[in-house]
């Protein structure tokens, strides 16, 4: 008998008249807005201009969505192209199925294009948005809860996830809520990156690399718990191998980058630096003009004082 468990929603979509409101899509959208908001705050704190993160996100987000979907469709092609399946379903992103590896890879390409157009160093931008991306993942994982998907092995723990749907091979029961585990892990990753960035002044892409390494470490054991169908290589799920490979790349980047380019970038957005410098010059000029005007204003008074002294002396002589 189940004493306590996390209930699953009876459905993942609500209808506002003819318009479907999907929980999965809402989680993705909210995550993107939070990532841009936090990334903007961090970018401005580093000397960048407000709005730059959002401008580049216009490139990064669409690329990321396409990349995430491509990775999912390619690695789970049998869900869309095997016998009895409809290949059109491969385009139904709102029904779930975004691979974070593809999303980060193509999202980075989109961000690179946006940064290049603005003359901004890509590593500095990546460092600013890294914690926000982790939080966006934490929010986005709740989309799997709405869809009753990507859960772990059966369990009777008090925080077990209650699966009620029997479609697409699901078996109703209580399972490890791997979506919740990953969501909490991503929040921890975001806090870790923010702390380490303040403590060690991470720059040149190292804050982003730390996010990648920390996420991969958690994803490895969470992926190992999942029971959904997946391709296996030498007894491990494909995403386990991907997490391990990307983790090693991220750690290697941190070590090599720290030796070659220690510290942070002096300037993250040339335009912002030019504006600040121009403002400072104008202020100095204003101060100088003020001093000159002040001196000019005093001149007549000083002259008048001198003239009064001369008149008094002349009167004394006459007396």
> Which residue, among 140, 134, 124, 133, has the nearest Cα to 25 in the 3D structure?
140
- The answer to whether 136 and 34 have CB atoms below 8 angstroms apart is yes
What is the distance, to the nearest Å, from the Cα of residue 157 to the centroid of all Cα atoms in its chain?
33
Burial bucket for residue 29 (CB in 10 Å: 0-12, 13-18, 19+): middle
Residue with tokens 């974070």: 100
Structure confidence at residue 278 (pLDDT): 59
Q: Give the residue ranges of the chain where pLDDT is below 50.
A: 1, 281-286, 288-310, 312-313, 315-319
Phi and psi angles of residue 236, each rounded to the nearest 5 degrees, phi first:
-110, 145
Side-chain half-sphere of 268: how many Cα atoms within 13 Å? 24
Mapped to the 3 state alphabet, what secondary structure does the chain carry? CCCCCECCCCCCEEEECCEEEEHHHHHHHHHHHHHHHHHHHHHHHCCCCCCHHHHHHHHHHHHHHHHHHHHHHHHCCHHHHCCCCCHHHHHCHHHCCCCHHHHHHHHHHHHHHHHHHHCCCHHHHHHHHHHHHHHHHHHHCHHHHHHCCCCECECCCCCCEEECCCCCCCCCEEECCHHHHHHHHHHHHHHHHHHHHHHHCCCCCHHHHHHHHHHHHHHHHHHHHECCCCCEECCEEHHHHHHHHHHHHHHHHHHHHHHHCCCCCCCCCHHHHHHHHHHHHHHHHHHHHHHHHHHHHHHHHHHHHHHHHHHHHHHHHHC
Which residues is 162 bridged to in the sheet? 174
pLDDT of res. 301:
44
- Report the Cα–Cα distance between both ends of the chain, in Å, rounded: 122
CB-based burial label for 233 (10 Å; 0-12, 13-18, 19+): exposed
What tens digit of pLDDT does each residue of 176-229 get? 999 999 999 999 999 999 999 999 999 999 999 999 999 999 999 999 899 888
Residue 12 structure tokens: 């993942």
What is the spatial distance between Cα 233 and Cα 239, in angstroms, rounded to a whole number?
10
Written as six digits, the tokens of 35 are: 């990532």
Give pLDDT, residue 133: 97
CA angle 7-11-12, nearest 5°? Answer: 100
Distance of alpha carbon 178 from alpha carbon 219, whole angstroms: 10
Tell me the two tokens of residue 271. Answer: 């335009």
């Amino acid at each position: 008998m189940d004493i306590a468990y996390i209930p699953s929603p009876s459905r993942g979509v609500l209808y506002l008249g003819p318009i479907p409101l999907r929980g999965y899509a809402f989680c993705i959208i909210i995550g993107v807005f939070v990532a841009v908001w936090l990334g903007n705050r961090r970018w401005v704190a580093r000397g960048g201009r407000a709005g730059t993160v959002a401008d580049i996100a216009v490139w990064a987000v669409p690329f990321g969505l396409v990349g995430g979907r491509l990775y999912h469709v390619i690695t789970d092609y049998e869900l869309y192209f095997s016998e009895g399946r409809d290949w059109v379903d491969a385009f139904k992103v709102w029904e779930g199925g975004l691979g974070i590896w593809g999303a980060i890879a193509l999202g980075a390409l989109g961000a690179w294009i946006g940064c290049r157009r603005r003359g901004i160093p890509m590593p500095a931008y990546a460092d600013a948005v890294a914690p926000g991306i982790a939080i966006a993942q934490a929010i986005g994982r709740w989309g799997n809860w709405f869809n009753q998907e990507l859960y772990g092995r059966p369990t009777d723990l008090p925080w077990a996830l209650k699966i009620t749907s029997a479609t697409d091979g699901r078996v109703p029961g209580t399972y490890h809520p791997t979506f919740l585990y990953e969501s909490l892990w991503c929040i921890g990753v975001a806090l870790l990156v923010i702390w380490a960035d303040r403590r060690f002044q991470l720059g040149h892409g190292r804050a982003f690399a730390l996010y990648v390494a920390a996420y991969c470490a958690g994803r490895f054991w969470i992926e190992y718990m999942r029971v959904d169908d997946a391709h296996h290589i030498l007894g491990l799920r494909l995403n386990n191998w991907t997490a391990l490979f990307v983790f090693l790349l991220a750690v290697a980047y941190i070590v090599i980058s720290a030796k070659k380019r220690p510290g942070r970038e002096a300037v993250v957005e040339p335009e912002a630096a030019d504006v600040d410098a121009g403002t400072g010059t104008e202020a100095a000029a204003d101060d100088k003009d003020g001093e000159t005007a002040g001196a000019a204003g005093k001149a007549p008074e000083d002259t008048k004082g001198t003239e009064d002294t001369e008149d008094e002396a002349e009167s004394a002589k006459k007396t």
